[in-house]
Amino acid sequence: MFGRVIAAMVTPLKEDGSVNYAMAEQLAAHLVDSGNDGLVVCGTTGESPTLTWDEEYELFQVVQKAIAPKGRVIAGTGSNSTTEAISATQKAARLGLDGSLQVVPYYNRPPQEGLYRHFAAIAKAVPEMPIMLYNIPGRTGRNLEPETIARLSELGNIVAIKEASGDLEQVCAIRSLTPDRFMIYSGEDSLTLPMLALGAAGVVSVASHLVAQPLQRLIQAFESGQVAQARALQLQLFPLFKVLFCTTNPIPIKAALQLQGWPVGPLRSPLCELSAEQQQQLEQVMSQLQLI
């Protein structure tokens, strides 16, 4: 439904901090042309915490225009308020987008039953919108447990999860408890191959801004039984995966795009630029992989 390699797209900004919609259009088209099957717009990598709903809604439309029908658009419309998430998802659904990314509610730390009711309410309110859950306990402070995911997978339009807990035992449990049609996506580039071995469908990737085609080859190699080739690609790309998380995402990937000549602009406060040492590390890895 969503493809194998999906870029968690950055949000280009102008020097004054406003959204650069023209650059977002160009970057979105480039990401799909360079091998991404689709884009998550206004997720964590897109600096969603500091975007307004109006900015996000405009970005959805700009990206949809830039890549449809070649690439799929998954709108980050999650919130720690169920009412807000429903409203944002309903508005996105009216655009005819391909899906919605729904993050685990953050800061208020609901119990598992509260999480189930939150996501079920969104699914019921927007039955026409395919939903990808997003589990990232390192940011939200709450893990979406496999048993809760299994309950949610029984709802018709909750079709996938971006799993970024970093816990392979959790991935194994999710795959064991959910139907085959329910898609698991790695939320961490460095765990793409291990998660494929446990039944994942692909990756929602930061690195695919730079290496979408190698990631596609990695997945294709694994699925065709060429495990050694897939492993070689994983190990080749591993230094990039690590350096892109040398500090808070999306700081490194925006710096990497700047190195490639993409004027994606600054970050919104409270995020800030790389240190000189981190910048040097990033340049070294990108140079070794012939990305600059």
Mean pLDDT to the nearest integer, 268-277:
97
Question: How far is 149 from 185, CA to CA, in rounded Å?
Answer: 13
Contact (Cβ atoms closer than 8 angstroms) between residue 85 and residue 56: no
Mean pLDDT to the nearest integer, 272-290:
97
Confidence of residue 233 (pLDDT cuts 50, 70, 90): very high
- pTM score above 0.75: yes
In this prediction, residue 65 carries a pLDDT of: 96
pLDDT digits (tens, 9 = 90+) for 3-47: 999 999 999 999 999 999 999 999 999 999 999 999 999 999 999
pLDDT at 144 over 90: yes
Mean pLDDT to the nearest integer, 90-102:
96
Q: Which residue has the higher pLDDT, 292 or 1?
A: 292
In this prediction, residue 1 carries a pLDDT of: 80
pLDDT at 254 over 90: yes
Token readout for 62 is: 């700009």
Cβ count within 10 A of residue 95: 12
Question: How far is 81 from 75, CA to CA, in rounded Å?
Answer: 17
Question: How far is 168 from 180, CA to CA, in rounded Å?
Answer: 18
pLDDT at 2 over 90: yes
Question: How far is 106 from 118, CA to CA, in rounded Å?
Answer: 12
Cβ count within 10 A of residue 115: 23
pLDDT at 181 over 90: yes
Active site residues: 134, 162
Mean pLDDT to the nearest integer, 229-255:
97
Backbone angles phi, psi at 161, to 5 degrees: -140, 135
Mean pLDDT to the nearest integer, 146-174:
97
Burial of 136 (0-12, 13-18, 19+ CB in 10 A): buried
Confidence of residue 112 (pLDDT cuts 50, 70, 90): very high
